[in-house]
Amino acid sequence: MTRPDILVVLADDLGYSDLGCYGGEIDTPHLDALARDGVRMSSFYNTARCSPSRASLLTGRDPHGTGIGILTDDQRPHGYPGSLDPAVPTIAEHLAATGYRTCLSGKWHLSADTATPNDTWPTRRGFDEFYGILGGADDYFHPRGLFHGEQRQEIPGEGYYVTDAVSDHAAEFVRTAGDDPFLLYLAYTAPHWPLHAPEEVVRRYEERYLAGWDALRERRLTRLRAAGLLGDEAPLSPRDPREQAWDDTGDKEWQARRMAVYAAQVEIMDAGIGRVVSALRESGRLENTLIVFLADNGGCAEELPPPDAPHFRTRQPSHTPDGRPMQLGNEPAIVPGPADTFASYRRAWANLSNTPFRHYKRWVHEGGIATPMIVHWPGGDLADGTVRGAPFQLVDVAPTLAEAAGAEPVESRGVSMLDTWRGGEPPADRALCWEHIGNGAIRVGALKLVRLAGGDWELYDLDHDRSELHDLAADRPDDVARLAARWQDWAGGAGVLPWPLSTPRKDR
């Protein structure tokens, strides 16, 4: 077979159940179509946070050993460097050496220095083309940190929207790709805060979310079960105890507005993916393109301004480019969506995004690390709408892409998923491991050992309790000890630093 083109699409802060094909009420027809004609994974995992997930995705390594243990702060000598180690090859470098053209359109977030071009920038890590942002988040309408190649761009004017721009850049790359195979990494900032979206899209969702988070969580679970993604092993976890029932919540219209903007951001991302798929189809490349879609962590419960980042407010622009004061924060007086606001949708809606699971981005319980994964490759025998339940994680992506491309294997503890996607048996007795800011977990088969930073280990049988509601640790101390020892062995080899770090981490 001719070497396939490869399109990897990464959403930012998208919950497990936000897409239509994963039970959500957001309109995502293009991703739903890829799912109908491809494969969905019900137990694929990321690494709980933006930068570590990107590091693992691109290298096939655990993030700590790549230089990215938390985010992109340089915390040396007591912490992680905060930049992707040039000595650790990326899948872009690996495939470029075999003749692939490469492009990143979207978000990088793997360099501590985003002002001066250096060896950690995407243009020097295997990507022939780069259009997007180097940092973790930016204004959607007027991004201040926009680059093309290594050249900072002027702040865009009216009519610009970064999700559309990176989608269109990706589609143009497809149209002008030539005869060589390509790797296109389309890394959206959507739907990461700030809540920014065109008003005409937001309006379509405001009434939909007046149903409230309680009713919508129940509806999502019903659809997840009907789709065969989850079963009775995954009951609906209780609403986050820190949040009110929807019926008792004040400011319902403002609350609905927050989720409506988030939904609009997801819909616009989906439409952009549709334009890239159309470019593939029109160029005759779709049949032999491996498309992989996933998210970098679970839904995000972060407050704005973040209480653990006291200088966050002073680092944001005080005014829009046309001089309007910027309204930063989560309060009913600030109606999110327009360019002069900077807000997030926060915990109750993130709880909906992660239906039916507990916890959020940053945590390694299922709500923080379970992601939708859609795989589409008609020419690679992936075209029947199957759901695969075998557990895999981000270290497995690069080995899979290398095998699909007919390249030499990458250095990784990960394994290729190709055979399992096609119906083969997954590896037995394999350990999937996580650590992020002291939160730790290991999954072997159906058993998952997990803990909050500074807390005791919890043990769950995911075949019967995917929602992690019934802790078995006290009843099965031998399993706890066995898995904890295995996790510790992994942590020592992966370069995990003790938490908390010896010195406080820098402000984000």
Percentage of the chain lying above the pLDDT 90 cut: 94
Q: Which residue did the predictor score with more confidence, 213 or 311?
A: 213
For the chain, domains (ranges, CATH) are 5-426 (3.40.720.10)
What distance, in Å, lies between the first and last C-alpha atoms of the chain?
46
Q: Which of 21, 30, 50, 196 is catalytic?
A: 50
Q: What is the pLDDT of residue 507?
A: 43
pLDDT one-digit tens code per residue, 4-29:
999 999 999 999 999 999 999 999 99
pLDDT one-digit tens code per residue, 322-346:
999 999 999 999 999 999 999 999 9
pLDDT one-digit tens code per residue, 226-258:
999 999 999 999 999 999 999 999 999 999 999
pLDDT one-digit tens code per residue, 55-87:
999 999 999 999 999 999 999 999 999 999 999
pLDDT one-digit tens code per residue, 416-458:
999 999 999 999 999 999 999 999 999 999 999 999 999 999 9
Q: What is the pLDDT of residue 503?
A: 56
Q: What is the pLDDT of residue 310?
A: 77
CA nearest 486: which of 428, 439, 437, 432? 432
The question of whether 21 is a catalytic residue gets the answer: no
pLDDT one-digit tens code per residue, 156-170:
999 999 999 999 999
Q: Which of 30, 64, 109, 192 is catalytic?
A: 109
Residue 399 exposure: Cα atoms within 13 Å on the Cβ side: 16
Q: What are phi and psi of 411, to 5 degrees?
A: -75, 115
- Rounded CA gap, 191 and 363, in Å? 19
pLDDT at 147 over 50: yes
What is the average pLDDT score of the chain? 96
Banded model confidence at residue 1, pLDDT cuts 50, 70, 90: low
CA nearest 380: which of 336, 333, 419? 419
Banded model confidence at residue 312, pLDDT cuts 50, 70, 90: confident
Percentage of the chain lying above the pLDDT 70 cut: 99
Q: What is the pTM of this model?
A: 0.97
pLDDT one-digit tens code per residue, 390-422:
999 999 999 999 999 999 999 999 999 999 999
Instruction: List Cα–Cα distances, 435 to 62, 390, 495, in angstroms.
Output: 9, 21, 10
Supply angle C-alpha 428, 472, 350, rounded to 5: 85
Q: What is the pLDDT of residue 508?
A: 41
Q: What is the pLDDT of residue 414?
A: 97
CA nearest 91: which of 121, 124, 60? 60
The question of whether 109 is a catalytic residue gets the answer: yes
pLDDT at 382 over 70: yes
- Rounded CA gap, 127 and 107, in Å? 13
Assigned token pair, 197: 């979206």
Assigned token pair, 103: 């492009």
pLDDT at 315 over 90: no
